[in-house]
Amino acid sequence: MRIVITGGAGFLGHKLAVEILDRDTLTDQHGAKQKVTELVIFDRAAPTVPLADDRVQVVTGDLGDPDAVKLALGGPTDTIFHLAAVVSGEAEADHELGLKVNLDGTRALLDFAGRSGRKPKFIFASSLAVYGGPRARIIDDFTTPTPKSSYGTQKLVCEFLVDDYDRRGLIDGRSLRFPTVAVRPGKANAANSSFISSVVREPVAGRATVCPVSRDVPVALISPNRLVAAVLSCHEVSSDIYGWPRAMVLPAIQVTVADFLEALEARKGPRIRDLVSFAIDPAIEPMVKGWPASVSSDRARALGIATDGGPGEFIEQYLADIGQKS
């Protein structure tokens, strides 16, 4: 079984790759359990933490480069996990780049997958950014998408493309609307939600950070391990059980900065709070307040996808990821 992960050199792509290699088998597009024989990591740069496994092949290149896409998908591919994207803040700042990567790049992958004749599984990383505005604070499987950003619009258009390619029998398409993922290690990225990870990551490292939103603004979150488990749960079920529409909301829990600071204090002592200060950003806070805060999905729960246990679970997972004890 040949699997491709776009954006595979990133944090989530790496976690997904490790889990796939550890499992050793996945369900193919025909419903049969197959051994993973080749795992292609497709990204703009090679992974900083190489995977020491003979089944791994690294392809570096851009989604907009047909030769790179052909090299990544040129073999008999059974599953494509499409995680690569220009993140929210960057897509808003550079509209043309967002369209090129998020929209045109996704279409290029869909075209190649559709022409292969294999009807591969196509797992698309969409986002809760397809929702927005005051009416989208509480969402479920039936909430109408109302994107209020270029990033959310691009993700929603790609969902429609995945639906159409699936309807035509060219792929087995499944779009998953990711909540904000926390806590991410490493440096902050250009996502508008990056402050959520920063208020944990920076104090744990002994560095000060400034939070651009009020401490009591709720955000819908999922942890990295829960997300990877959810992605694979959606991959493993049959197309009929996965159901229609092909876009599915992944459940999340509400967490505020205050919740994270309380959980941090319980594990690292009260002084850690002093490393987080607040300077409300008039552009960021209204945007965050327009994001979904309460998220549920009966479809996902029916597949056994559970939410995280609480703020402390996010902290514990992050500390384990960086090799620290709480």
Q: What is the pTM of this model?
A: 0.96
Task: Give the 3-state secondary structure percentages of the chain, helix then strand then coil, rounded to 5.
Answer: 45, 20, 40
Q: Look at residue 254 in the predicted model and tell me its pLDDT.
A: 96
Q: Look at residue 326 in the predicted model and tell me its pLDDT.
A: 64
The answer to whether 1 touches 79, Cβ cutoff 8 Å, is: yes
| Other CB atoms within 10 A of residue 52 CB | 7
User: Would you tell me the crossing angle of helices 11-23 and 224-236 to the nearest 10 degrees?
Assistant: 50
**Cα-based distances in Å from 326 to 43, 149, 195, 273, 317:** 33, 37, 22, 16, 10
Tens of pLDDT along 221-255?
999 999 999 999 999 999 999 999 999 999 999 99
Q: Look at residue 222 in the predicted model and tell me its pLDDT.
A: 97
Tens of pLDDT along 261-320?
999 999 999 999 999 999 999 989 998 998 999 999 999 999 999 999 999 999 999 999
Phi, psi of 232 (to 5 degrees): -75, -30
The CA distance from 14 to 35, in Å, is 19
CA-wise closest residue to 248 among 237, 259, 257: 237
Tens of pLDDT along 108-134?
999 999 999 999 999 999 999 999 988
Residue 101, pLDDT > 70, answer: yes
Q: Where are the beta strands (DSSP E) in the chain?
A: 2-6, 25-27, 33-35, 38-43, 56-60, 79-82, 121-127, 138-139, 172-178, 180-181, 209-211, 219-222, 247-249, 253-255, 276-278, 294-295
The CA distance from 12 to 222, in Å, is 12
Give the distance between the most distant pair of CA atoms in the chain.
59
Say which range, 18-22, 46-50, 170-174, 184-188, has the weakest mean pLDDT.
184-188
> What percent of the chain has pLDDT above 70?
100
Q: Where are the beta strands (DSSP E) in 128-222?
A: 138-139, 172-178, 180-181, 209-211, 219-222
The answer to whether 248 touches 305, Cβ cutoff 8 Å, is: no
Catalytic sites, residue numbers: 151
Residue 325, pLDDT > 80, answer: no
Residue 57: both structure tokens together = 């092949």
Q: Give 55's DSSP letter.
A: T
Query: Across the chain, what does the average pLDDT equal?
Result: 95
Q: Give 10's DSSP letter.
A: S
Q: What is the mean pLDDT of residues 7-33?
A: 97
Residue 135, pLDDT > 90, answer: no
pLDDT-derived band of residue 136, with 50, 70 and 90 as boundaries?
A: confident
The answer to whether 110 touches 202, Cβ cutoff 8 Å, is: no
Q: Look at residue 201 in the predicted model and tell me its pLDDT.
A: 96
Tens of pLDDT along 40-95?
999 999 999 889 999 999 999 998 888 999 999 988 999 999 999 999 889 999 99
Domains of the chain in start order, with CATH, are 2-179+223-249 (3.40.50.720)
Phi, psi of 150 (to 5 degrees): -65, -40
The CA distance from 244 to 9, in Å, is 31
CA-wise closest residue to 213 among 133, 294, 295, 277: 277
